[in-house]
Each structure stands twice: as structure tokens, then as C-alpha cells.
Amino acid sequence: MRKFNFSAGPAALPEEVLLHLQYDLLDWQAQGVSILEMPHRAPAAINLLEETVQLFRGLLKIPDHFQILFMHGGARMQFAAIPMNLLGQNSNAVYLNTGYWSEAAAAEAKRYGDISVPPLKKGGGEVFRAGGIFNAAYVHYCDNETIDGIEFSSPPVVDNIPLVSDMSSNILSRPIDWGRFGLIYAGMQKNIGPAGLAVVVVREDLLDQAQAMTPSVLHYKTQVKAHSAYNTLPLFNIYAASLVFKWLQKQGGVEAIALINQRKAQKVYAVIDKHELYHNDVDLSCRSRMNITFSLPNKNLEEKFIKEARERGFINLEGHPSAGGIRLSVYNAISEPMVDRLVAFMEEFAKNTLS
Ligand code: PMP
């Protein structure tokens, strides 16, 4: 029996997408073969890839001067690919550190360039201005810290330096103001589809500054020329993504899901703030809408919470091992009624524990 999966990733997918994938697993689009068996250069495969790119472009209203790439290796591969591709002429970049993933991105980038990490108030996305940063090829930040439950409510202001953003855990959860960005990227296993790929959206004028040693598979310009298929692209992942994109269109698109996401998060934070039993210490201005972290007064209570939640079908609520506590990942595929049921459980658990 399927359960309510609040995992941070790989994350829940819409059930109708899973049923669709199951239905066409043996014979995809009357091609006589499974999508898992399709040659990636067959006309039907090329059409699928083009359609998927266009669906994504449409959902996020991505302007024509940005290229969209699907690349192997998830988001961590981009931690290396980004400095390799952008630090060929100017080897300096600035990385904002707001938590686990931005720190990991900076650590990897240090292998390929001169990386500075300015002091920052924890979770202080709102107050950051990149004043004084003149000699940087780009400024990198993580739009949503999946482990820490910290999200920028709007991108940091970096004046004329290209802004690069890791949007792995909040891509497609709200509109993006493209005028602010040089490049965004996201591992696809949260709001898009199966794990293994990353989507990269890169402004065309940034495609000519790669380091000479950049491997061809990671070289953005090579991948642009090859329409993301310089080497064999996992078509199953692309197909799954295309179905998620169509599902999202049916929900009313990114603007509509953004309102739902806002409401879902408000409902969970309201119950956290109402009961002393639950504690979230993220600054109010930076609370994540996607990954809601909180703790209970002790480990025993947290284990009891997780056990009782599991008995009701709510699974994968454990915080990341490095952070502990509880984490509810409420990505696009987690419906508002599902959140309502979880919130009702939290109310009930608080009442029973305190009485
Ligand atoms: N960045 C963020 C914000 C993430 O949440 C994750 C994975 N949870 C990663 C990077 C790493 O992604 P991947 O496993 O696809 O390399």
C-alpha cells in the first residue's frame, strides 16, 4: 500500500505520473519498446527531449537567451561543473554560506578556483547585499537549504555580478525572476522526477568562459551543441520529468502551485508555533516552504512522534542525520489535504503528550 511520503529526496511523485509510467513501461508511445529501451537519438526520443525542454521553459517562463540542459550526476556534479565552466577567465567567485549545501558547494568549488566565503548572519538571506564584491566571476548561493530548512524569500542583490543559484529543493515551487540570474541548477529528484540528473539553466553570454580542462560531458557549450545528449541521456528520467511538467500545468502552473505551497507551509508552521512541544529556530524571514524542520524536547519524544506518524502512514519524517529532529518535506507533489492530515496528527500528538 502506498504511504504518505514526506521524504526530502528522492521525493514523492504525483500518483498519476507513476501510474502513467507504469502503463507505458512495456510499449512507449506505440514504438514497440519500453522507454527504457529507446535509442536516445531516435526521432521520437529527440521529440520527447525537445518537448520536455519546452514544457520546462513554459512553466518557468524562461527567456530565450537562457539555455536549458539536462546533465548527469545530480546537483553535486554541478558543484564541480559550475566553477569549471565559469572560472576560465576570472578565477574568483563568492559563495554565500547559509547551511549544509551551500557549504558543500563552496568546498568543491575551492578545488577549481579562488573562492571567498564572506561572513554572513546564519539564514540572513534577506539582509545580504554583495556590496564590495567587484572582482568575482559569479556569486553562488543556495535558494533553499534542504537540511537546515532555510529559504531565501527573494534572491540576494548582487548588482552586476552573475548570480548562480542551487535550486535543487525549491525549483518549480514558485516563479523565478530571470533578470536576477546568470545560472540556476537543480538536482531533479525533488520537484521534477527520478534521481540522477540535474537541470541547468544558463545565460548564453556565460558559455564562453570554461576552463580548458573541463571534461566534455560537463562542458556546457558542448552539451548545448549536443542538446544535452553528448553522451547517452537516461530517457526514462526525461519522460518522467515531462509527465511531472504536464501534471504541474494541470494544477495551474507554477504561479498556482506557489500559492498552494505558501498555504501548506503556513499551516505546518502555525501548528509548530502553537504548541511548545514543537520547536523551529529558523529566523521567521527565512523559513523554508519546502523543508520544514523542527525538534521536540528530547529524542524519546521525537522517536515516539515518528513511530506514531508511521502508524498513520506518514513516512520519512526523520531529519537529516547531520541535523537530527524532524523534517517534513512538502514539495509540489504533497497535496494540501495530505498536509491537513499531517497537521491534524501533530495537533493530536501535542494534545496527548501534554495532557
Ligand atoms: N543541493 C541541495 C540543495 C540538495 O538538497 C541536494 C540533495 N539533497 C544536493 C545539492 C545534492 O544533490 P545530488 O544528490 O543530486 O547531487
Burial of 198 (0-12, 13-18, 19+ CB in 10 A): buried
pLDDT of residue 308: 98
Catalytically active residues, by annotation? 101, 166, 190
Residue 57, number of CB atoms within 10 A of its CB: 16
Q: What is the pLDDT of residue 225?
A: 98
Mean pLDDT of 290-318: 97
- Averaged pLDDT score across all residues of the chain: 94
**What is the model's pLDDT at position 303?**
97
Long-range contacts: 58-61, Cβ < 8 Å, 24+?
Answer: 58/249, 59/172, 59/245, 59/248, 59/249, 59/253, 59/254, 60/172, 60/175, 60/176, 60/201, 60/254, 61/175, 61/176, 61/178
Task: Name which residue sits closest to atom 9 of ligand 1, judged by CA.
Answer: 75
Per residue in 46-69, pLDDT tens? 999 999 999 999 999 999 999 999
* Contacts with 179 (C-beta within 8 Å, 6 or more apart), sequence order: none
Pocket residue to mutate for ligand 1, from 70, 140, 168, 237, most atoms within 8 A of Cβ: 168
Q: Which pLDDT belongs to residue 127? A: 40
User: Alpha-carbon distance 77 to 181, whole Å?
Assistant: 20
Q: 155: which 3 cell numbers?
A: 534572491
Please list every protein residue whose CB sits less than 6 Å from any atom of ligand 1: 9, 74-76, 101, 142, 146, 166, 168-169, 187
pLDDT at 121 over 60: no
C-beta pairs of 294-297 under 8 Å, 24+ apart in sequence = 294/325, 294/326, 295/324, 295/325, 295/326, 296/325, 296/326
Amino acid identity, residue 32?
A: G
Distance 218 CA to ligand 1 centre (A): 17
Grid cell for residue 13 = 511523485
Question: Which residues, 6+ apart, have CB-to-CB distance to 169 below 8 Å?
Answer: 8, 9, 144, 145, 146, 186, 190, 191, 290, 291, 329, 331
For a mutational test of ligand 1's pocket, the pick from 70, 101, 329, i.e. the residue with the most ligand atoms closer than 8 A to its C-beta, is 101
Phi/psi of residue 218, each to 5°? -100, 0
> What is the per-residue pLDDT across 141-191, written as a single tens digit (0 to 9) for each?
999 999 999 999 999 888 789 999 999 999 999 999 999 999 999 999 999
